Chains A and B, each alone.
Chain A
Amino acid sequence: MYKELDEQELARYCRERDRLAEDELYTRYAARIYTLCRRYLGDNDKAKDLVQETLIQALDKIQTFHYTGKGSLYGWIHRIAINKALNHIKRQRWRTVPFNLIKHDRVQEPTKEEMESIPQEKLLGWISLLPSLRRTVFNLYCIDGYSHREIGKMLGISEKGSASILAKARKQLKEEIKHYLNRQG
């Protein structure tokens, strides 16, 4: 019965502290939020904890959720997860300058076919290898669609700084992809 509920109804049942509705919310969104947390934290154990914290906070604050259309419940939980991930990253204080592992030679961009052949877990693995700041900026800009201005505000860095960090993250990822494709033959 609960599997058939749309987001609005599910949120309403959750407001009423319906335990089955809460389980349904977990079942429906936990895996995607887990992916998001893995992307940001680069650590599966921490990501697992963050998923729990995110969904518990979502249930605690479900009264503040306003349904605005399909996908709005997931979008709301998604933002909670990003905020929590950023707080976690800030607490980890990534301010040290990471070693520059990027070679200065130009790396050719992978083609569409090459990208399609790469499994998602590989992509998540490469993201987790990025230094914390690069990983955060790449996630915020390339995957979650934030602008450099927004990223700058979120992370306390300048727009140019954000763009520069993104460029380094892209280079590093392209390198990883290139090495992987070369190994694949």
Chain B
Amino acid sequence: MMRKWEDIFKDKLDGYESALPEGSLSEFHALKDGTGNGSSRKLYPLICVTVAAFAAGLAAVLLLRHPTSQENGVLVAEQPETPVYVDSEPAVVPESTGNPEITVAPKAISLSKSKESKESLDNKQTNPVVDPVVTPMEGKQAKTGTEASTVPDKPVIPLISPFAPEEESIKTVKLKVGPAAGAIAGGGLLAALLTPVIVEINDIHLPTVTKPTTSIGNEGNHNSGTSGSGTSSFIEEHQTTQPSQPSEPIDPGQPSEPIETTNPQDQEEPSDVLTGTRSHQVPIKAALSARIQLSERLNLTTGLEYSRYKSSFRYSISGEKTQIAHYIGIPVRLDWTLASNRWLDVYLGGGVEGDYCVGASLAGERINKDGFSLSLLGAGGLQLNVSDWLGVYLEPQFSYTFPRDYNVLETYRTFHPAVFTLSTGVRFVFGR
């Protein structure tokens, strides 16, 4: 009977002794005595457990940690812009405990009844805070006044916190707002989402400080502010109050109702406030990623992620200031392997990431840290397996940061809670 070629194949290989690599016997001795690579292999489960326990512990601490009262407060006077609208309609005054989104950082609205020279105003460097209230205008003239003026008892750290609780601000400006802002005042979340969009408008010019007829936030003022333009740096402190729609210009020659101030110092003090111009850079992230194989298809992906958010804010006096915030995050994700071979894994996954601000500064000065935030993650990816324990990955990832109502630094993420990123890096793989 004729033998098949496979039978010969089998016979030739069945008893064949391949030449062993050099040093294999000594390696065998080392492994047998527990001093070779085998011992490191036995460490894998221990490393897996340690990393997972560390990540879980850190996540628990971050989740359960309540901010201290000191951190909870936002010391800042200067907020970014507030959506304030002044028009001829009767305005709505937000509740004092209401939406922090429509409170404005204290601005030195130190409009004086008397005609005061710019020079005398510029000589003072305190940060008076005034709560202006915009009243309905009569005819062509807007009636504008201030409700209160408070001087902070300590130097103001200009941290940007549009969503800071009102009571945490040193003093906020209460403004009567128009319909658009009133709609925003309906809900914190909605306002949180809408406010950044609205406040993008810049450079509203009040006419002059020398005119007692000045109104706040009236677009008409923009054009009418020709006289006394030398005081613009002072006047522009009001520019966080943005008009929602054009209204009639003010006649500079027509008298208006006097502006009230409760603190005489405020009448003379310019302050360094946001002019409304800000820019947020796309964050820089660096991560240490680990993947623990739970089953043939299912993997737990976790690690540590560092994020650096850089933003620039323009102030009326001091110019541009840079805010840098550092975050440490722990992503925890379950990945399902769609296809894989020896070299490549293709997977889809979802999970959450907890972020905690470890430091923040504005123009080099430390400011209060941001609060804890939680994000939802969805990712797909490719992982090139360099070895059994090391891989290089390329991951398109979608994340959505849940809105918060406390301790929110204004960063890129504030304006873009839903972010699509493409990340790449090196990943340690355990359990293969």
Please name all residues of chain A whose beta carbon is closer than 8 Å to the beta carbon of B17 when the two chains form the complex: 31-32, 34-35
Task: Determine the distance from Cα of A123 to Cα of B14 in the docked complex, in whole angstroms.
Answer: 12
Q: Tell me how far the C-beta of A85 lies from the nearest C-beta in chain B, rounded to whole angstroms.
A: 14
B25 within 8 A of A: yes
CB within 8 Å: A-B pair count? 98
Which residue of B4, B32, B339, B432 is within 8 Å of A56 (Cβ)?
B32
B238 to chain A, nearest CB (A): 65
Contact A96-B341, Cβ < 8 Å, known A56-B38, A109-B5 = yes
Q: Is B405 an interface residue (CB 8 A)?
A: no
Q: Does the CB pair B28–A52 fall under 8 Å? A: yes
CB within 8 Å of B: which A69-121 residues: 90-96, 98, 109-112, 115-116, 118, 120
Q: Is the CB of B20 within 8 A of A34?
A: yes
A35 touches B18 (CB 8 A): yes
The complex places the Cα of A53 from the Cα of B41 at a distance, in Å, of 11
Q: Are A96 and B38 in contact (CB under 8 A)?
A: no
Q: Which of A16-52 contact B (CB under 8 A)?
A: 22-23, 26-27, 30-32, 34-35, 38-39, 44, 48-49, 51-52
B10 at the interface (CB under 8 A from A): yes
**B119 is an interface residue with CB less than 8 A from chain A:** no
CA distance A132 to B341 in the complex (A): 9
**A123 vs B5: C-alpha distance when bound (angstroms):** 12
- On chain B, the residues within 8 Å of A27 by CB distance are 25
Main secondary structure of the interface of A (DSSP, over half): helix
| B2, B3, B9, B19: the one within 8 Å of A123 (CB) | B9
**Interface residue total, chain B, C-beta cutoff 8 A:** 33
Which residue of A52, A143, A170, A174 is within 8 Å of B10 (Cβ)?
A143
The reply to whether B16 and A93 form a contact with Cβ atoms under 8 Å apart is no
A62 at the interface (CB under 8 A from B): no
**One of B5, B37, B342 near A115 (C-beta < 8 A):** B5
Is B13's CB under 8 angstroms from A48's CB? no
Bound complex: CA A26 to CA B19 (Å): 13
State whether A38 and B18 are in contact (beta carbons under 8 Å apart), knowing that A116-B8, A120-B12, A170-B6 are contacts in the complex.
yes
Q: Are B3 and A112 in contact (CB-based, < 8 A)?
A: yes
Q: How far is the CB of B34 from chain A (nearest CB, A)?
A: 10
What chain A residues lie within 8 Å of B25 (beta carbons)? 23, 26-27, 30
Decide if A95 touches B9 in the complex (CB within 8 Å). Answer: no
Q: Is B210 on the interface with A (CB-CB < 8 A)?
A: no
* Inter-chain contact A94/B341, CB cutoff 8 Å: yes
Interface flag for B31 (CB, 8 Å): yes
In the complex formed, the residue of A with least CB distance to B21 is: A48
Contact A52 B3 (CB under 8 A): no
A127 to B280, CA, bound (A): 57
Smallest CB separation, B431 vs chain A (Å): 9
- Minimum C-beta distance from A55 to chain B (A): 7
Within the assembled complex, what's the spacing in Å between the Cα atoms of A39 and B15?
A: 12
Bits for B12-48, please: 1 = Cβ < 8 Å to A, else 0: 1111111111001101100110000110000000000
B391 CB to closest chain A CB (Å) equals 13
Report yes or no: A30 in contact with B342, Cβ–Cβ below 8 A.
no
Cβ distance B200 to chain A, nearest Cβ, rounded Å: 49
**Could you list 8 further interchain pairs (A-B, Cβ under 8 angstroms) beyond the known A32-B17, A34-B18, A124-B13?**
A30-B20, A35-B13, A51-B24, A56-B31, A93-B340, A109-B5, A112-B3, A142-B6
List 17 A–B pairs whose Cβ atoms lie within 8 Å, in order of A's numbering: A32-B16, A52-B28, A52-B31, A53-B38, A55-B28, A59-B32, A91-B296, A95-B340, A96-B340, A96-B341, A112-B3, A115-B5, A115-B12, A118-B12, A120-B12, A143-B14, A174-B5
